[in-house]
Each structure stands twice: as structure tokens, then as C-alpha cells.
A and B are shown apart, each in its own frame.
Chain A
Amino acid sequence: MNEAAFYFIAAGVCVFAVMAVTGRDIFHCALWLAMTLLSVAGIYFYLDAPFLGVIQILVYVGGIITLFVFAIKLTANIGYKSIRQTSKQWALALFITALLLCVLSRVFAAHPWAQTVLNVPAASIAQIGRSLMMNYAVPFEFMSVILLAAMVGAIVIGKDKR
């Protein structure tokens, strides 16, 4: 029963992801991407990581996809139009992804996967916060610097040039 639920959600992730990549209407693609990310959040909930699932929905669906949709609407001549699916270098891209698939599948096949689930206590939010602020304080602060740089860049690009 439980495993069936997992495969159901995983199949949803795959189907929606394919739809997001192959769709012709860019607004629909954004919606399929939202469905993909929601299904991934479903997997997190299934795996007993509600914090991760909640953050996934809040950040990706509530934030990023909404910004995507905003950008699509505010860009002239992009909605309702079928845009070419492939770039000029699709052959090269296909080659690289095929190579990556080969390497990854060999690694996955060679790896000795654990057959039993370790009894790991679920990480509480307090623990996550503590490790972010103590063990990983430097990377955490570094992330905020990157975000700040991105924000400044966005403002510079969006500034009225006179």
C-alpha cells in the first residue's frame, strides 16, 4: 500500500516533468513545472520530512513559479505563442546528457545500496536551525551574500536608463 503511494507520486513527478519540457505553450509549461514541484513536495511528505516539503511548496510553488508566471505575463509577445523547443545545439546537448546518463547509471548500478532503513531520528527544526547557524554558518552567510548580489544586479538591470 505505502509503496504503491510512492510509485504513484513518483510517476506523477516524471509525467509532469516531461509535460513541462515538451509543452509548446510557455504558460502551460510553467504550470506543469509547478505540478512537478508539488509532486516532489509530496515525496518529501511521504518520506517523513514535512519541513522540507513545506519549504519546497513555499519557496518553489509560492515564490519561484509565481515569479515565472509574472515574468511570462509581463514579457511582450511570449504568451499564447508556440516557441521553438530546441536550441541550435540540440545534438551536442543530447550527446552530453546521454553521456551523463551512462555514467550515472553505472555509478548507481555499482553502489551497494542499503537494504534496511537506518533508524535515524527525524531532524527537528531546532536541530536544522542550530546546524545552519553553527556548523554551516559560513556557507549560510555566503548564500545571503550571493542573494544580495543577485538583488543588486536585478535592480541595476531594471533601472530606468536615461
Chain B
Amino acid sequence: MSVIFLKGLAVLGFIAVSAMFSIWLERKISAWIQNRMGPMMTGFHGTLQPVADTIKLLLKEDIVPKGVDFLSWWLAPFFVTVPVVMAFLVIPFSSKWIALDLNVGVLYVCSVTSICVLGIFMAGWGSNNKYSLLGGMRSAAQIISYEVPLLLSVLLVVMQSGTMSMQGIVAAQEHGWFILKPHLTLAFLIYFISATAEVNRVPFDIPEAESELVAGYHTEYSGMKFAMFFVAEYTNMFIISAIATTLFLGGWQGPFLPGLVWFLLKSYGLVAFLMWMRWTLPRVRMDQMMSFAWKVLTPMALLNLLISGWFMVK
């Protein structure tokens, strides 16, 4: 009992620190790409800036706009944040560091993160604001559409390794990462593009497009509630990178360094790649994004599944 409790505390601590570090990393990378300095004043090269930001968010007034739908408005931040915490249950940080190695691990992550859609919907609906509603609608449509190719590409990994347990999939990659096999390289690309859309990152961040929707579904939130959306977003980024690492990049396996270090290196490498994409690519239009999911990614994922399934059975 107390062990589970300690594991939960460890996960919460990790999420807080990871989100703070990711925000600092994002600001530094954006500054580097745009030829600026980024945060420099607080601590060494601005490393204490996220701490200051957190204190600021904690002390801010929690504004409740007039006419909000109270139930959905209050519950939405929790519906977005809690599934993200739950997903950490099965992430294998190293051979021993995994809270619980469920035998349906991959499916578990996909299912708990699908709860986030409801939270986004609730935030958009409950805020009583047309920009929030539009953002929530767009985001939900996008997440549902990209979930199809995402699950199909994850399925291919499950077929290859013959197990859904996270540690089992890592063990199956002992003699070569899955990304090195041609059909799984394609699956990795489909997974990563869909996952980028799932977490509303550029080039698929039309639900939060500042130029037309203010800030999308979290426009009306302030203080700690806004911080919860922010933490969920950055932790989601870490989760999709961690899943990609586990499914395609050999998980915690690697020479010389301990497993935990390898896992964090690979995961944060992918997080940095996502940030690099954000500050490089332009935003795509809503209709382009939806047709890309349904007309390109989904058929490609299905075809990939069919062809490689054929070869696996033969």
C-alpha cells in the first residue's frame, strides 16, 4: 500500500519537474532558433525562470468569468491532467523502474489518454466563450481523427513483438530497435505525426491558433487552472515521446550508461525534436489537417498493417 503511495508521489514530482524543465527548454530552443537569448536573468541562463513562473501562477487570482457552466468549467482541468498522471503507471524508465507492468500496457496508455478529449470539450463548452468552443471543437475533432492512424501504427508494434506489456516490447528489441525495420520505420513516422496532432503541437495547433482563437479552449482560465492545462500539455509531450522511445527506439536499452539515463536521453531528444518542429514549421489549415488524417495517414497505416501482416503470417 505505502509503496504504491510512494510511487504516486514520485510520479507527481517527476511531472512537476519535467514540465518546468520542458517549458524552460522550449523557451531556450525558440530563442536559439530566432537568434535571441531567451530567459537569462533568473539563475544561470534562466534556469530558475520556471520556478519563478510557478510561484507567479500559484499566487495569481483564480478568475471565474460570468456565465460559465460551473460543473464542466471546474472539472475540465482535472479531466485533462489526471489521465496524464495515470499514463505514467506503465512507462518503463528502466528495467526496474516501472510502477506496474500491466500485460495490456500499450492499450492502457492509449485508453487513458483518450479521456483527455472530454476535458478539452468540457473546457471549450463550459467557458461560455465562442473562441473556447471553437477551439474545443477543433481539438476534439482532430484528436479523434488522428487516434485512428496512431492506434493502427501501435498495433503493428504489438504484432511484431507479440506482447502488449511495455517491458515485453522493450525486451523484444534487444537485438535491434524496431525503427530499423522498414515497415516499422513507416509506422514510427505515422505514429509521430499523429501523436504531434494528438497533443496539439505545431504544425497541428489550429485549436490554439493565437491569431484567430486567442488561446483556444483555455482562453478563460487563469492562475492554477491554466497551469494545470499547461502542465498537462507539456507532460503529454513527454508521454508521447516516452511511448515512441519504448515502442520504436529500444526503450531504456543502450550501451555503457544506465537504463534510466538512456530512456530520459531518448525521450527528451524527441521532446526537443517536437519543439524544433514547432519553431520551424507553419501551421496547417483545419481542412488540410483533417483530410491529411483521413485520406493519407489512415489508408497508409492500414496498408502498412495489411502488407506487413501478410509477411508475418507467411
Contact = CB atoms under 8 A, between A and B. Distances in A.
A40 to B, nearest CB: 13
Contacts of A50: 102-104, 108
B72 A66 contact: no
Nearest to B118: A34
Nearest to B147: A62
Given A50-B102, A69-B121, A70-B140, A58 B114 contact: yes
Q: Is the interface of A mostly helix, strand, loop or mixed?
A: helix
A144 interface: no
B75 A57 contact: no
A28 B125 CA distance: 11
Nearest to B126: A27
Size class of the B contact interface (CB-based, 8 Å): 20 to 34
Given A57-B114, A62-B114, A70-B140, A27 B69 contact: yes
Interface in B139-188: 140-141, 144, 147, 164
Q: Is the interface of B mostly helix, strand, loop or mixed?
A: helix
A54 B108 contact: yes
B72 A31 contact: yes
A51 B158 CA distance: 15
Interface in A85-137: 124-125
A89 to B, nearest CB: 30
Contacts of A54: 104, 107-108, 111
Interface of B: 69, 71-72, 75, 102-104, 107-108, 110-112, 114-115, 117-118, 121-122, 125, 133, 137, 140-141, 144, 147, 164
Interface of A: 25, 27-28, 31, 34, 38, 50-51, 54-55, 57-58, 61-63, 65-66, 69-70, 73, 79-80, 124-125
13 contacts: A27-B125, A31-B72, A50-B104, A51-B103, A51-B104, A57-B112, A58-B107, A62-B111, A65-B118, A66-B117, A69-B118, A70-B140, A125-B103
